[in-house]
Amino acid sequence: MARSFNGRQVFKGRGASSNPLGRFEKNAVEEISDGWYEEELPSHLEETVSPDAARTVITTNDSPDVGFDLSINPYRGCSHACSYCFARPSHSYLGLSPGLDFETKLFYKKDAAPLLEAELSKPRYVCKPIALGINTDGYQPLERRLGVTRSILEVLVRYRHPVTIVTKSALILRDIALLADLAKDQLISVALSVTSLSDDLKRVLEPRTASPAARLRVIQELARAGVPVGVMVAPVIPAITDHEMEAILQAAHAAGAMFAGYTMLRLPHELKILFRDWLAAHYPDRAKHVMSLVNQASGGKDYDARFGVRMRGTGPYAELIRRRFEIASRKLGFSGKEERQRLNTRAFRPPTTSPQLALGL
């Protein structure tokens, strides 16, 4: 699939300003001015939506620092357009750019619900909490039209399967009845990702996400409905959002959040290029300082991919962030990560696909 934009330009409502070549591509397209003809740059980029013909929907994971073994990603690519999104490099596997392509060339899991039901019915399936919408947000704007995430939730509700959700979207309130039903059997945990309380920063950092105030309202509504809900201060961006940590935790606690977590900014693969472009476009005065702190927390590199390190970083700056989070969380009475992950697996009732399977159960 050909890329729709070459060059560099800031688009309203977009987090990236370019389409850097994916790391697996061997051929590059480069624009050169010959002094005769200059192609007019587009004022906006259209989205394309295509089915992802996956044979399965559950992905297994053995990373020791992510807190889940099973996950489902209803979508590939995300129009939330967060400039820092660690999932951007995954678009390179599709022959697309992690830049503007990631925000505009979107894919959805076709037949996600029946595929999930088939996987849950396998005799050797072992019930563990499923993390829903981890690589990209399951409640991104496309979900309003396609409803893939809701169809997956309906299957999980039907068979009483535990699930965790992290989102930046207020659209999750559409499914509050399903979430409340799961909460009755201790089958659900929801976390709202809040990066900043500033609307101005949100508009350039996470252009198409819900406002900070809307995310706090989501926490409030879920808490009122009896759904275990917490806050993720994620990512903590040095010299951009790090000063807001205590304020975010305080606001989320006041809204009804039960638990809290945080992650440091991660810049794997092509993301280091994209984030530098974003800094140059929006914070040129502190770009060098931001990257200096990032490097200090990553062993002198833009990113340290080692397990146990990549989420929190190392060194004095990372240690300062860790201590600030722990002190603020302790004062507010937030529970730890281990407690919020204790979901009920005993209520699971697998689907039956044949009389023989039914007798086996």
DSSP result, 133-181: S-SS-TTSTHHHHH-HHHHHHHHHHHTT--EEEEES-GGGGGGHHHHHH
Does residue 339 register a pLDDT over 80? no
Helix (H, G, I), strand (E, B) or coil at 103: helix
The residue ranking higher by pLDDT, 355 or 93, is: 93
> 């002190």: which residue's tokens?
327
The enclosing H or E element of 260 equals strand 259-264
Residue 115: predicted pLDDT: 97
pLDDT band at 356 (very low <50, low <70, confident <90, very high): very low
Residue 39: predicted pLDDT: 60
Q: From residue 142, give the alpha-carbon distance in Å to each of 83, 85, 178, 328, 335.
A: 18, 17, 20, 36, 33
Rounded CA separation 297/293 (Å): 6
The residue ranking higher by pLDDT, 210 or 29, is: 210
Domain ranges of the chain: 48-259
User: What is the average per-residue pLDDT within 154-158?
Assistant: 98
The residue ranking higher by pLDDT, 314 or 64, is: 314
Rounded CA separation 328/330 (Å): 5
Residue 2: predicted pLDDT: 40
Residue 62: predicted pLDDT: 73
- The letter for the amino acid at 51 is P
Does residue 340 register a pLDDT over 60? no
Partnered with residue 231 across adjacent β-strands are 192, 260
Residue 230: predicted pLDDT: 97
User: What is the average per-residue pLDDT within 88-103?
Assistant: 93
Residue 42: predicted pLDDT: 66
Token couple for 102: 């990631």
Q: Are residues 49 and 108 in contact, defined by beta-carbon separation less than 8 angstroms?
A: yes
The tens digit of pLDDT for each residue in 171-188 reads 999 999 999 999 999 999
- Tell me the backbone φ, ψ of residue 322, rounded to 5 degrees: -60, -45
Does residue 335 register a pLDDT over 80? no
Q: Are residues 88 and 99 in contact, defined by beta-carbon separation less than 8 angstroms?
A: yes
Q: What is the dotted CATH code of the domain comprising 48-259?
A: 3.20.20.70
The tens digit of pLDDT for each residue in 36-92 reads 655 666 667 789 999 998 889 999 887 766 777 899 999 999 999 999 999 999 999
Residue 360: predicted pLDDT: 42
The tens digit of pLDDT for each residue in 218-239 reads 999 999 999 999 999 999 999 9
Does residue 256 register a pLDDT over 90? yes
The residue ranking higher by pLDDT, 68 or 320, is: 320
